[in-house]
Structure formats: structure tokens, C-alpha cells
Structure 1
Amino acid sequence: MSFFRVKALRRIAAQSYRMSELAAELASDRPYLTLVVDDLEQRGLVQRTQHPTDRRCKIVSATPAGQAAAARANAILGTPPPALLALPAADLATLDRITSELATLAHED
């Protein structure tokens, strides 16, 4: 499964979304997101249901299998690789400082 599909699944597992809200959250265009959600639905990881008050839109939510897959993805993505864990504390502190600065610069653009 592509990283974008995993990213979408993790978001959907955290909360249900309207397709338009999910597209905005993921900074994706709607046609591509529809293809992604179609694929996740075919895999049995998400389901679409009618919005309770707006017949024009669908709500996307995770199935139990989708919740489990998202939890597995979160565990994998939350576990640093062994090479990173082997770094000395001073190197980890330097790496943390550099990545924080890069994140700050990225948000300024």
C-alpha cells in the first residue's frame, strides 16, 4: 500500500470525515482522493455512508480491519530504526535540533 493510502487510512481511523474535509486535510484533489478511498474500501479498510443531514456528501470511516491496519501503521511509523536507536544521546539531540529547525523553516514558506 502506498504511503499516501496509509496516511489517509490513519486519518480516517482517527475520525470519520466528509470526503471534502479529508481532501483538504490531506491537501489532495478530490478525484485522486476518490481513487484512494475506492481502493481502501475495496480492501475492506474503510466504508462510505450517507451523511445524516446532507444527501450530497458521504462520510468515510474506518472498518474494524481499517482500525487494526492503522494501528499497525502507527506502531511501525512510531518505531525508530535500529541505526537511529544506536546513536549516542548527543547525536540524537543534534538531529532533533536540526529537524526542528527544518520543520520551522518549512512552515514559514
Structure 2
Amino acid sequence: MNGETAVRAWARMRSLVLDQHDRRREVSDALGMSFIKVKALYRVAERPMTMRELTETLNTDRPYTTLVVDDLVRRELAVREPHPDDRRSRVVTLTPAGREAAALALRILGEPPEAVLALPPADLAALDRILARLTPS
């Protein structure tokens, strides 16, 4: 019984986020780039990353990560510089324009759907408590 309920709850969460209120197209259109590039932007906005770290974070392969970063550099949203302690490694950092683009992406992605905003305060608080238990801090 508990397994069936978990499957149903998970399906509803996935549907809410990915089917009914998927903001990936909206953010891609706003920034004029594919979502993988948007994702790279907001990941690097958290902290500068080596190309290897970014590859792992994006769950892509090295050549594809290089193409993604090449485009961000071409758009002047990121720079790729030698690692201060390992000259064989490169670190990706955002430019001021890249930080602005990442902030816009996070604003769009962070906008709660009307269905969530319309919940009664007690339900919203309960949902928040439950999701806090399911996600790392």
C-alpha cells in the first residue's frame, strides 16, 4: 500500500514540475540558448568549476561540455582560465553578464506555479515541511 502511494505521489510531483509547469522552454527562450547552457550558467554561478567538475555536474561528456562552455565564452557570459594550482586544468567562471543571465534563469525557474501559490497557508506549510525532509539542505 505504501509503495503504491509513493508511486502515485511521485508521479504527481513529476507531472506538476515537468509536465504542467516546465519552465525550461521559457528560460531557454528568455536567454536565447539551449537549456543545457542555461544549466551550466546557473551551476557555475554557484561557484567557479573546473571543466571536469562541470562535466560531472551536467552529466555530459567532456567534448560536449567543451562545446557548451565555448558557446558561453563566445557570448561573453563565461571565461575559461587556467587553474591556479593545476595548469593542465581549466576553471570556468561567469562574467558579470553571465551572472545576470544566471540570475534571470533562476528567477524564471524559481517562480512557483499558480496552483502552489493558491494553496491555503496550512497546506503550503505542510508541503514545505514534507519537501524539506525529502531534499538536502
Match of 1:5 among 31, 37, 46: 37
Q: Percent identity over the alignment?
A: 58
Give yes or no for the alignment of 1:20 onto 2:34: no
Deviating 4+ runs (over 3 angstroms) = 81-93
Give yes or no for the alignment of 1:53 onto 2:91.
no
RMSD of equivalent CA atoms: 2.2
User: Number of residues paired by the alignment?
Assistant: 100
Structure-1-length-normalised TM-score: 0.76
Tell me the amino acid that sits aligned with residue 79 of structure 2. Q
The normalised TM-score by structure 2 is: 0.62
* Structure 1: segments with no counterpart, 5+ residues: 105-109
For 2:80, give the aligned amino acid. Answer: R
C-alpha separation in 2, matches of 1:20 and 1:84: 37
Match of 2:105 in 1: 73
The runs of 5 or more residues in structure 2 that have no matched partner are 1-32
Q: What letter corresponds to residue 80 of structure 1 in structure 2? A: P
In structure 2, what is the equivalent of residue 39 of structure 1? 71
Which structure has more relative contact order (CA 8 Å, sep 6+)? It is 1
